Structure 1
Amino acid sequence: MIRILLADDQALVRGALAALLDLEADLEVVAQLGRGDEVVGAARDHGAEVCLLDIEMPGLTGIEAAAALRTELPAVRSLIVTTFGRAGYVRRALDAGATGFVVKDTPAKQLADAVRRVHAGLRVIDPDLATESLMAGPSPLTEREAEILRLALDGSPVAVIAARAHLSSGTIRNHLSAAIGKTGATTRAEAARLARDNGWL
């Protein structure tokens, strides 16, 4: 029996996934969570072997939760199951330690098979996303540029971003200028949107 933890901030989605997976004789959902920062503790407490993680969750994203699992519970596998099928997310998830990446409209039997394959130590990636990820290549942004663009997503002024990042306004302007150039955008708001839409943030 493969013990599964589900982490998704949408209760309806969580419940539906649990119901589908529990229909399989060799799969058992042992925990359901709505927050990413509860994943490691719950995986430890419930003896989870495979964690199905959404990307956008409060506390930690699914990608951050996968990284925390790799550090604290390296024997536990993680599979990203998300509506955000963006090439940049695939690369970031795999770099963080996720063993698989599928989208939520994956048929139930395929999802169950993905869980089994991930549990066996195999990598499972949605074929269309794998191709798109290879074609798109890695993010052109440095880690700092991505951080600054994340802070710029809400349209905050440079001074506010500088205060949040603990950097000078001039340094923020330099990072934003570099990010605008690398994304081919004309404004920082456009650069932030493009980076988010490509899964680089």
Structure 2
Amino acid sequence: MIRVIIAEDQSMVRGALTALLNMEEDIEVIDEAADGETVLHKIELLQPDICILDIEMPGMSGLDVAEAIKNRKLPSKVVIVTTFGRAGYLQRALKAGVKGYMLKDAPVEQLAQVLRDVSRGGRYISPELAVTVFEDENPLTERERMVLQLASDGLSTAEMAKHLFLSEGTIRNYMSELMQKLEAKNRIDAVKIAQSKGWI
């Protein structure tokens, strides 16, 4: 029996997925959650075989949860089910060790088969998403991404410097470099570009 936890902030979608997957003889949905922090706690507690994560959730995103699972060396495998086909999201997911990445408009029979394949050590990426990985490579370094993420949260240069234990001059250098890479007019423009690509 494949033990599954579902994290999806839309209760109707979550309920439908749970009901449909529980109709499969070899799959059991053992719990569900509406946000990232709750599901991470449940994953640590229940150690499901697979967790199905949406990307956009309150608090921690599905990608944040996938990264936490990898960093904490939890045994559960991750399948992302999303409406977002952004290259940056898929690149982050692959780095986080996600085993399945598919769009929400796929039939539930396909999701069930992906869960079976993943439980046996396989991997699945929706073909229409796989090509985007090579089309739109993220030019930002991890540190530049962190700086831009803090900028998107509204932090000033001084606050970013304090948060990352760097000098304000270093933060300004990072910001200048990433704005050039993104061909952005200013930091707000840089945030918009990176968010539209799924890079932050």
Q: Same fold (TM over 0.5)?
A: yes
Q: Which moved more, 1:28-37 or 1:167-176?
A: 167-176
Shift of 1:164: 3.8
Residue number in structure 2 paired with 1:170: 169
Identity of aligned residues (%): 44
Residue number in structure 1 paired with 2:140: 141
TM-score, normalised with respect to structure 1 = 0.88
2:5/2:43 contact within 8 Å kept: yes
Change (3 A) 1:122 1:179: same
In structure 1, list runs of 5 or more residues that go unmatched: none
Counterpart check, 1:113 vs 2:113 = yes
Shift of 1:148: 1.0
Q: 1:140 corresponds to which letter in structure 2?
A: P
1:62/1:80 contact within 8 Å kept: yes
1:40/1:72 contact within 8 Å kept: no
Shift of 1:152: 1.5
Cα distance in 2, alignment partners of residues 75 and 152 from structure 1: 34
Cα distance in 1, alignment partners of residues 172 and 47 from structure 2: 47
For these two proteins, the number of residue pairs brought into alignment is 200
Cα distance in 1, alignment partners of residues 193 and 133 from structure 2: 15
Q: 2:31 corresponds to which letter in structure 1?
A: A
Equivalent positions of 1:13-162 (< 5 A) are 13-72=13-72, 74-137=74-137, 139-162=138-161
Residue number in structure 1 paired with 2:196: 197
Q: 2:90 corresponds to which letter in structure 1?
A: V
Cα distance in 1, alignment partners of residues 148 and 70 from structure 2: 26
Cα distance in 1, alignment partners of residues 38 and 154 from structure 2: 30
Cα distance in 1, alignment partners of residues 95 and 165 from structure 2: 27
Shift of 1:118: 1.2
| Residue-by-residue CA offset, 1:122-162 (whole Å, 9 max, x unaligned) | 1110111101112223x111111101111112454433433
Q: Which moved more, 1:28-37 or 1:42-51?
A: 42-51
Change (3 A) 1:164 1:75: closer
Q: Which moved more, 1:64-73 or 1:110-119?
A: 64-73
Residue 85 of structure 1 aligns to a residue whose secondary structure is coil
In structure 2, list runs of 5 or more residues that go unmatched: none
Cα distance in 2, alignment partners of residues 36 and 116 from structure 1: 24
Cα distance in 2, alignment partners of residues 40 and 156 from structure 1: 27
Shift of 1:73: 5.1
Cα distance in 1, alignment partners of residues 37 and 189 from structure 2: 30
Cα distance in 2, alignment partners of residues 64 and 97 from structure 1: 12
2:114/2:124 contact within 8 Å kept: yes
1:51/1:76 contact within 8 Å kept: yes
Shift of 1:44: 4.4
Q: 1:200 corresponds to which letter in structure 2?
A: W
1:87/1:198 contact within 8 Å kept: yes
1:70/1:76 contact within 8 Å kept: no
Residue number in structure 1 paired with 2:3: 3
Residue 20 of structure 2 aligns to a residue whose secondary structure is helix
Q: 1:15 corresponds to which letter in structure 2?
A: G
